[in-house]
Amino acid sequence: MMNLTKRRERLRAVLAGKECVNPAPVFDSISARIADGLGFEIGYMAGAVASAAVLGAPDLLVITMGELAQQVRAICRASSLSLIIDADNGYGNALNVMRTVEELESAGVSLVSIEDTALPIGMGSHKRVERLITLEEGVGKMKAALAARQDPSLIILGHTHAVTVGGTPEAIRRVKAYEKAGVDAIWLADATREGLAAVHAETRLPLLVGQPGTALGDKNFLAANGVRIASLGHLAFLASVKAMYETLKAVRDGKSPSDLRPTLASPELLAQVIHQPQYDEWIKNFMS
């Protein structure tokens, strides 16, 4: 298994390159092993997916930092992926951000994303992204994250929803401030093509975007405008939820295992993704 520094250096090489890469959307050990086996080098777990996978809860920052770190540790232990993790607001103030970076670095991540949205949502709020913390607090959080890392190859990313809340001018203002603070990359949420191009013109940092639709779906355009990682959303998790729901519903409705067999993983596929041959070899070598 690749050591953690090499995983981080591999992701840094992607950020320093000229292409736009789609990471594997992962959420647990088995999804990470499948992605690894298919040849993905980079994985991504969103905060929303972590909350759903661990708690069965929506993306409202009800998951704790410790629960997130435990899920990250399982993913990194099971695979050699360079893992990008959405750590939301760092679970509190700048001191909480430092603790979050320490725990996630120890768990094995390659990139920690800290956002400047005011979280958790406050009294009277109706949307998750409704307001931002002040620029000064955002800069303080980014500096705290950078100060907390032990491995200099760990990537600290500033994640901003400024486009949504304040428009492209506010996004540029924050991106410049976070760049000056020393972050390694920027996640620009909810950007338009015009906004993305405008931000790219104002920073030398590599950019990340999430769930690009038709407006941002052109990888050549993204690459030309500084985007090095483009998440395509929570595809594997959503597919898993649908498959589990339909299978359990079929069982509840009285379907037999033979009826469901065409939709199930074969014994051969399961053995492949859980590394059964490797365990068999270990049993032969160490327990015979």
The arithmetic mean of pLDDT across residues 105-124, rounded, is 92
Q: What is the pLDDT of residue 1?
A: 56
pLDDT at 129: 74
Instruction: Output the pLDDT for position 194.
Output: 92
Rounded distance between C-alpha atoms, residue 56 and residue 52, angstroms: 4
Q: What span, in angstroms and rounded, lies between the C-alpha atoms of 213 and 190? A: 10
CA gap 168, 74 in Å, rounded: 38
Q: Structure pTM? A: 0.94
Position 121 scores a pLDDT of 82
Residue spans in the chain of domains classed CATH 3.20.20.60: 4-239
Q: What is the pLDDT of residue 217?
A: 79
User: Average pLDDT in the 138-163 region?
Assistant: 97
Q: For the domain 4-239, what is the CATH superfamily, name and number?
A: Phosphoenolpyruvate-binding domains (3.20.20.60)
Question: Tell me, what's the pLDDT at 122?
Answer: 79
CA distance 119 to 165: 14
Q: What pLDDT score was predicted for residue 2?
A: 66
The predicted-structure confidence for 177-225, as pLDDT tens digits, reads as follows 999 999 999 999 988 899 999 999 999 999 999 876 666 778 999 999 9
